[in-house]
Chain A
Amino acid sequence: MNKTQSKPENAGNTCQTSANPARTWSPPPFIENPTLRWGLLLGLAIYLFLSIGSLDVNWNRIYEGLDRGAKFIFGFMNPNFAGRWTDISEGMIESLVMTVTSTALGIAISIPIGFGAARNLAPLPVYLFCRGVIALSRSFQEIIVAILFVAIFGFGPLAGVLTLSFATIGFLSKLLAEDIESIDKSQAEAVQATGSKWWQWLNYGIQPQIMPRLIGLSLYRLDINFRESAVVGLVGAGGIGATLNTAFDRYEYDTAAAILILIIGIVMLSEYISGYIRKGVQ
């Protein structure tokens, strides 16, 4: 009775205030069509279930393997540095040499390729060529390249150095090119406007803008190359990886553990140092 007697605008107001709390909102779904949305989810679930089912799990083998695994882990509990120290230290030094050499060589090749792969600097043919080199380097995993280079140059660190240098190009050139493409154009233009020559323009207008990134990436790559030097050694490309491989072949898990602990230690140390330097150059 009261409601019908109240004035129209009052009725409108009460209507609005009472309607407001009921008005819900949820974010729009990523896929609009509900059938498609739920269908995709269901399909994914079925695929996952079938894939897991297709894995051939041999429980007997796992049971037997547990014993070996325990020995492996036990070996890690008792790392043996002394037993084959000469082999370990030689492998380590070889790895460090490989790392530094390949990083230096890789950077030296990567810088010109990185400049060539930056669309705002290079003419189209140069750009395409450099991008092609980068794509080639990125599409082959280190192990595959290492196998190829071992086949060409024989066992030993030379194949390893070349492998890591080649891998460095794909990494460093690509990221460097991207950094060059995102420079502040006006700074470069201002240097150009003074009548500078092309090399001077690179040196004053471009280089200062990319230097911190270049240093950071190079240090990061030094880390990666050290870790990879252990991996490429497994296929005969020298370094600590070769020593590690031998240790595994002889079932000397204690020596293998010592090697792995050393690798972890060196990687952590270089991580710490490079982080410190990178902070300094920003």
Chain B
Amino acid sequence: MLEIKNLVKKYNTGDLAINGVDLKVEKGQVMALIGPSGAGKSTLIRCVNRLENPTSGEIWLNGENIVKMRSRKLRRARRNMGMIFQEYALVERLTVMENVLSGRLGYVGFWRSFLRKFPQSDVNAAFGLLNKVGLDAMVNKRADELSGGQRQRVGIARALIQNPDILLVDEPTASLDPKTSRQIMRLITELCEENQLAAIINIHDVALAQMYAERIVGLRDGKIVYDGSPDDLKPDVLTEIYGKEDWTAVRKRKPKKDQSEDDITASEEHLAEMQ
């Protein structure tokens, strides 16, 4: 569904952020992209959405090359990619509802969006998603009144209301506490499964990646150095991705797959058992 071929991104400063990446993500596959800071994780998913323009290479989404697209076609392609950001990137002075509905901007005309007269189906979808992420009561709150976890939930709702084929998720938990991080990761993976969504999740917390993703890709210096299952992420692999370090502390926590809808206390108990 998404296929990246020999992608290269060189910034104007001369930094080679992505150095020939080939990657294929199938429908409904949740993939975690791990790697040290500066490995090019963010750049990679920003290239897919064309927030950055790749230097060379091809990105195919549903049989169309995104790299070649211009304004109108690009906007249409962007509708199929829901983005979730590290610092949530909600429009702070808009209400929760407006933030969620902004995910429909690619589908409605200017005046409708300007007058906030979105089609009833969009409003229904927004209420449904807000219910799903547990923010029913916050509809008319301004985004800057929310806590970090609540903001990220709004961000997730905004991405999902686009009705995308793939989620591009950039460090969704980096600004959140451990408990909220898990809740957010669980929410994302559950929603992906429910809607048969593929996802590329940038994350630097290896344990979280192993816990929630079915596939792990390791990026180092703009190149893929690992691509496989979470279970094969052994210390020597981590050393290859991140550099030399004693990884035994990580190895002690066995990866946990297929997290169901048990609440957070259950999963924490589980973790305590494993240790």
Contacts and interface: CB of A to CB of B under 8 A. Distances in A.
Nearest to A192: B51
A78 interface: no
Interface residues of A, number: 22
13 contacts: A187-B91, A190-B91, A191-B91, A193-B51, A193-B81, A193-B83, A194-B103, A195-B77, A195-B162, A196-B105, A197-B110, A204-B102, A204-B113
A197 B102 CA distance: 11
B92 A187 contact: yes
Contacts of B114: 199-200, 203
Contacts of A200: 105, 110, 113-114
Interface in A163-198: 184, 186-187, 189-197
Given A190-B89, A209-B93, A212-B93, 18 more contacts: A186-B87, A186-B89, A191-B91, A192-B51, A193-B51, A194-B79, A194-B105, A194-B106, A194-B162, A196-B75, A196-B106, A196-B113, A200-B105, A200-B110, A203-B114, A204-B94, A204-B113, A209-B91
A191 B105 contact: yes
A196 B51 contact: no
B85 A186 contact: yes
Contacts of A203: 110, 113-114
Interface of B: 49, 51, 75-79, 81, 83, 85, 87, 89-94, 98, 102-106, 110, 113-114, 155, 158, 162
A25 B124 CA distance: 69
Contact of B93 (A193, A195, A211): A211
B249 to A, nearest CB: 33
Contacts of B105: 191, 194-197, 200-201, 204
B78 A195 contact: yes
B113 A187 contact: no
Contact of A190 (B85, B106, B113): B85
Contacts of A212: 93
Contact of A194 (B87, B90, B94, B102): B102
Given A194-B78, A194-B162, A205 B106 contact: no
Contacts of A192: 51, 78
B109 to A, nearest CB: 8
Chain B CB count within 10 A is highest, among A186, A191, A194, A212, for A194
A203 B103 CA distance: 14
Nearest to A212: B93
Contacts of A34: none
A277 to B, nearest CB: 16
A21 interface: no
Contact of B102 (A184, A189, A196): A196
Nearest to B74: A195
A199 B102 CA distance: 13
A208 interface: yes
A238 B94 CA distance: 43
Nearest to B81: A193
Chain B CB count within 10 A is highest, among A193, A197, A209, for A193
9 closest A-B pairs by CB: A195-B106, A195-B78, A196-B105, A190-B89, A195-B79, A208-B93, A186-B89, A193-B83, A195-B75
Interface in A186-236: 186-187, 189-197, 199-201, 203-205, 208-209, 211-212
Contacts of A204: 91, 94, 98, 102, 105, 113
B11 to A, nearest CB: 16
Nearest to B161: A194
Contacts of A196: 75, 102, 105-106, 113
Contacts of A209: 91-93
Contacts of B94: 204, 208
A202 B59 CA distance: 28
Interface string A86-119: 0000000000000000000000000000000000
B90 A190 contact: yes
A208 B110 contact: no
